[in-house]
Copies of this chain bind each other. A is one copy, B any other.
Amino acid sequence: MNELINDLITRGKFFDARNEIIKMNVVDIAQLLEELEEDNSLMVFRLLPKDIAAEVFSYMSYEQQQFIIESIADKEIKNIIDELFLDDTIDLIEEMPANVVKKVLKNTSETRRKLINQFLKYPDNSAGSVMTIEFIDLKKEMTVKMALEHVRETGLDKETIDVCYVIDSNRKLQGSLPIRKLILSDGNVIIADIMDTNVISVYTHDNQEEVANLFKKYDLVAMPVVDNENRLVGIITIDDVLDIIERENTEDFHKMAAMAPSEEEYLKTSVFDHAKHRIIWLLVLMISATFTGNIIKKFQGLLQSMVSLAAFIPMLMDTGGNSGSQSSTLVIRGLALGEIEFGDIMKIIWKELRVAIVVGLTLAGVNFLRLYFLEKTDFYVALTVCISLLVTVIAAKVIGGALPVIAKKLNLDPAIMASPLITTIVDALALMSYFSIARLLLGIS
């Protein structure tokens, strides 16, 4: 398919190419246009039917959208903006540089401009900022027949109308009603009698993460958004929720690897921005690691009289860090999915303690066998290393399990309590116990 289109375009047969292209899915058309040369891409885009063009436009990258708006005439822009969903228009305006925004707003009707301004006021990450206004509201006193008539009049052919919302004369949300139920019901039935009054809704200022959690909990495909007076102002659809979930997950991955979270794609982020996102935590953790170094300094005399002890430092530090990050990751993820809450902290500590003993004894055992029998290390040195290992694993797992829950309780993001921070704490503990045990068992000071 794509080869045929490419061939047609190369030979300048744009109309033939267009006729092939409009058979494709709009997402694929958007991708195809990104891959074409700029001139060809623009030419093909302008030949697309108005409604398809707007849909294709909404699936383009911001770079491509900007290029298109900068290249086409005002009238063409108006055609696209008229067809575009309000939430896509808002996204566009938030991402584009000022000159492009100006060009877009100039070609937007007065009413729509007012709406846009209202939407731009919703705080980032709020339900209001992700909702759309393309939905169908039914009056509760309507009959099914009237409702179907109303749906037909609106003529909105989008998945946003698969569920209609029922309001009273003050626009207050009363219930929800899937379109399929309209089909399955008798024409004379009153909407109020068949609507679901148990409708899950959110306020415009609610956080998008809460919204995503409600979608997951109640298996929703759409959810109404109301203002403070419970008046219906918009809806959020599942496709936007998917984006929210992936974004939240990405943020957690970034934070857990000690970075400032970023929404931008890896390859599209500049070197300077990459460095900016990473440097702060690296600096903080580097400085705190020097405290760990100070512990070694403090025990320098001991190390001087038995320098072979230094060879076990990496193993102790790494194993402690890994043990701790296993526990913190499990707990952070459990908190994010709502499976764990603060009240569970004692259960977590108790579980981690037992897991740590099982895991720690195994590791220490394997290590002792290796050191004493394979490497013929001195018995007391091997014992020192293995006891330190056990102590380290236990401390790492208990701290790794508890700290994220405590962070959450203190309204901090649990994800920042992930491996890097835990590692630094555990490192210090590991070295402290290692040298103390060495002093005790080996009789050196």
**Chain B CB within 8 A of A114 CB:** no
B314 near A431 (CB under 8 angstroms)?
Answer: yes
**Chain B CB within 8 A of A290 CB:** yes
B358 near A318 (CB under 8 angstroms)?
Answer: no
Q: Which residues of A contact B (CB under 8 A)?
A: 23-25, 27, 148, 151-152, 155, 157, 159, 161-162, 178-184, 197-198, 200, 215-219, 221, 238-239, 241-242, 245-246, 249-250, 252-254, 256-259, 265-267, 271-272, 274-275, 278-279, 281-283, 285-286, 289-290, 292-294, 296-297, 300, 303-304, 307-308, 310-315, 317-319, 321-323, 325-326, 328-334, 337, 339-340, 344, 347-348, 351, 354-355, 358-359, 362-363, 366-367, 370, 419-420, 423-424, 427, 431
Cα–Cα, bound, A308→B294 (Å): 10
Contact of A340 (CB < 8 Å), options: B266, B293, B311: B266
A179 near B200 (CB under 8 angstroms)?
Answer: no
A25 to chain B, nearest CB (A): 5
B296 near A303 (CB under 8 angstroms)?
Answer: no
A322 cross-chain contacts in B, Cβ below 8 A: 257-258, 281-282, 285, 420
A285 near B198 (CB under 8 angstroms)?
Answer: no
Cα–Cα, bound, A359→B272 (Å): 9
A178 cross-chain contacts in B, Cβ below 8 A: 157, 159, 162
A242 near B257 (CB under 8 angstroms)?
Answer: no
A56 to chain B, nearest CB (A): 13
Cα–Cα, bound, A421→B151 (Å): 57
A275 cross-chain contacts in B, Cβ below 8 A: 355, 358-359, 362
Cα–Cα, bound, A245→B239 (Å): 13
A215 cross-chain contacts in B, Cβ below 8 A: 242
Contact of A351 (CB < 8 Å), options: B151, B200, B271, B326: B271
A184 near B159 (CB under 8 angstroms)?
Answer: no
A326 and B363 in contact, given A282-B319, A285-B318, A289-B319 (Cβ under 8 angstroms) = no
Q: Can you name 8 extra interface pairs (CB under 8 A) apart from A242-B242, A271-B354?
A: A179-B179, A179-B180, A257-B328, A266-B331, A283-B362, A294-B311, A304-B307, A314-B427
A174 to chain B, nearest CB (A): 15
A363 cross-chain contacts in B, Cβ below 8 A: 279, 282-283, 286
A343 to chain B, nearest CB (A): 11
A314 near B333 (CB under 8 angstroms)?
Answer: no
Q: What are 18 pairs between A and B in contact, CB < 8 Å?
A: A23-B197, A25-B200, A159-B178, A162-B178, A162-B179, A179-B179, A216-B246, A242-B245, A249-B249, A267-B334, A282-B322, A283-B362, A286-B367, A289-B319, A290-B315, A307-B307, A314-B431, A318-B427
A339 near B267 (CB under 8 angstroms)?
Answer: yes
A282 and B359 in contact, given A317-B314, A334-B266 (Cβ under 8 angstroms) = yes
Cα–Cα, bound, A319→B304 (Å): 25
A339 cross-chain contacts in B, Cβ below 8 A: 265-267
B307 near A303 (CB under 8 angstroms)?
Answer: yes
A413 to chain B, nearest CB (A): 15
A238 cross-chain contacts in B, Cβ below 8 A: 221, 238, 242
- Complex: chain B residue closest to A199, CB-CB: B25
A258 cross-chain contacts in B, Cβ below 8 A: 322, 325-326
A150 to chain B, nearest CB (A): 11
A259 near B329 (CB under 8 angstroms)?
Answer: yes
Cα–Cα, bound, A217→B181 (Å): 29
- Complex: chain B residue closest to A266, CB-CB: B334
Cα–Cα, bound, A334→B242 (Å): 16
Contact of A321 (CB < 8 Å), options: B241, B283, B362, B423: B423
Cα–Cα, bound, A16→B416 (Å): 48
A29 to chain B, nearest CB (A): 11
Cα–Cα, bound, A297→B25 (Å): 62
